[in-house]
């Protein structure tokens, strides 16, 4: 038996005003083609199918088209749960009809103790739930943390568990110690959102969504698939793809990460403004979505516009003329070695990218001298 694990598609995502729909359609087309080769028995999508609770119609059509190909045309069973970005009600639309076609959409806590049996495996679903929703569902106001909520849900599931079978949990949450990225919206503000890996020990395997790095956590039975694409500039070093789990006679025999190549990557470009404009800067691909971090551009008006004329997929620009990366104490040490004149001309250069002219210099010297002499009254 073969299970494909994916999550965090974030369909409809927009980064700095740029819609990624074309990139998402491209990668899903690739995913569909790979599924034709893989012939999995089931595809698990562990939450955040959409990027917002009100996805636009293009995003909805893309999801419908993808699921139709995989489920109706290729006959692959699909289990999907809602993540913190999805609207439970909207994602759940049609779920009872779709189950007839082995498309299982789970968005509420109501049926977390009902297994979905496919082949030798019992799948349990734990869609994302807020602390409030969990309190209401269990009618228990003492549940105040994500850990308490999870423990309560898991002990509820535990009563239904058939220990003789292979039990797999599908969830959307943060496991303690997991690597974070910028595009994962916090689950709650002001409460610790991570839960202990220990909590899941009644399961043979836990397939998760939410963290975007495919190797977010080191565990032999808990795993994140990672997101479909790079969704923030903090993810430029992360591989993206899906995971494939193979089971033989009730045992997991292997799990493999399979990378996919996107239409465009996210790339951070460091260097000099002038070099960028003259196309002499070190860049992987002009077509990538770019975040420029450039020096010597304080004198340029609207540098973003100039950059976009050459690199149309520029999404962000940071002025690196100001050195925020050297720690303050190191800069202070440097400054302490300078005399007043050097400090001022250094500062001037820092701001304007130009050195003081001779006239400015002599004016500066005379002012400094004046001050040294206690400010002679003229
Ligand atoms: Mn999420």
* pLDDT at site 136: 96
Give the model's pLDDT for residue 378: 44
DSSP symbol at 240: -
- pLDDT at position 281, please? 92
* Ligand 1 centre distance from Cα of residue 182 (Å): 11
Cα 4 to middle of ligand 1, angstroms: 19
Per-residue pLDDT tens listing for the chain (378 residues): 999 999 999 999 999 999 999 999 999 999 999 999 999 999 999 999 999 999 999 999 999 999 999 999 999 999 999 999 999 999 999 999 999 999 999 999 999 999 999 988 999 999 999 999 999 999 999 999 999 999 999 999 999 999 999 999 999 999 988 888 888 888 877 778 889 888 999 999 999 999 999 999 988 899 999 999 999 999 999 999 999 999 988 787 889 999 999 999 999 999 999 999 999 999 999 999 999 999 988 788 899 999 999 999 999 999 887 666 666 677 677 777 788 888 888 888 877 778 888 898 888 888 888 887 765 444
Q: How far is the CA of 346 from the centre of ligand 1 (A)?
A: 46
Q: How far is the CA of 157 from the centre of ligand 1 (A)?
A: 22
Q: How far apart are CA 193 and CA 174, in angstroms?
A: 7
Helix axes 21-38, 57-67, angle to 10 degrees: 10
- C-alpha to C-alpha distance for 249 and 222, rounded to whole angstroms: 21
CA of 89 to the centre of ligand 1 (A): 17
Q: How far does the centroid of ligand 1 lie from the alpha carbon of residue 8, in Å?
A: 7
Number of other CB atoms surrounding residue 61 within 10 Å: 14
**3-class DSSP state for residue 300?**
coil
Contact assessment for residue 79 and residue 42, using Cβ atoms and an 8 Å cutoff: yes
CA 235 – ligand 1 centroid, Å: 15
For residue 48, what pLDDT is reported? 96
> 211 alpha carbon to ligand 1 midpoint, in Å?
7
């Amino acid at each position: 038996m073969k299970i494909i694990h994916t999550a965090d598609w974030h369909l409809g995502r927009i980064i700095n005003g740029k819609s990624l729909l074309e990139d998402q359609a491209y990668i899903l087309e690739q995913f569909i083609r790979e599924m034709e080769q893989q012939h999995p028995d089931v595809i698990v999508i562990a939450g955040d199918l959409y990027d917002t609770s009100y996805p636009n119609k293009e995003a909805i059509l893309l999801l419908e088209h993808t699921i139709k190909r995989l489920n109706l045309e290729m006959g692959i069973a699909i289990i999907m749960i809602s993540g913190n970005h999805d609207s439970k009600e909207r994602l759940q639309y049609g779920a009872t009809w779709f189950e007839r076609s082995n498309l299982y959409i789970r968005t509420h806590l109501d049926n977390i103790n009902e297994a979905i049996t496919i082949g030798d495996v019992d799948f349990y679903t734990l869609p994302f739930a807020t602390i409030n929703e969990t309190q209401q569902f269990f009618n228990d106001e003492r549940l105040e943390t994500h850990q308490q909520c999870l423990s309560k849900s898991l002990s509820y599931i535990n009563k239904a568990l058939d220990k003789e079978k292979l039990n797999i949990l599908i969830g959307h949450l943060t496991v303690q110690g997991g690597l974070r990225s910028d595009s994962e919206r916090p689950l709650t503000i002001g409460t610790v959102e991570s839960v202990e890996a220990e909590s899941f020990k009644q399961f043979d395997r836990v397939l998760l969504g939410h963290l975007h790095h495919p190797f977010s956590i080191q565990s032999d039975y808990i795993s994140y698939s990672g997101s479909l694409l790079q969704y923030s500039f903090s993810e430029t070093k992360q591989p993206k793809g899906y995971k494939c789990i193979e089971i033989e006679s009730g045992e997991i025999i292997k799990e493999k990460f399979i990378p996919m190549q996107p239409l465009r990557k996210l790339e951070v470009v460091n260097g000099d403004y002038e070099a960028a404009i003259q196309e002499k800067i070190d860049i992987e691909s002009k077509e990538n979505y770019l975040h420029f971090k450039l020096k010597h551009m304080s004198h340029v008006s609207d540098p973003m516009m100039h950059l976009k004329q050459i690199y149309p997929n520029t999404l962000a620009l940071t002025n690196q003329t100001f050195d925020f990366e050297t720690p303050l104490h190191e800069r202070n040490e440097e400054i302490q070695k300078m005399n007043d004149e050097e400090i001022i001309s250094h500062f001037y250069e820092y701001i304007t990218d130009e050195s003081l002219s001779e006239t400015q210099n002599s004016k500066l010297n005379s002012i400094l001298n004046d001050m040294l002499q206690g400010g002679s009254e003229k």
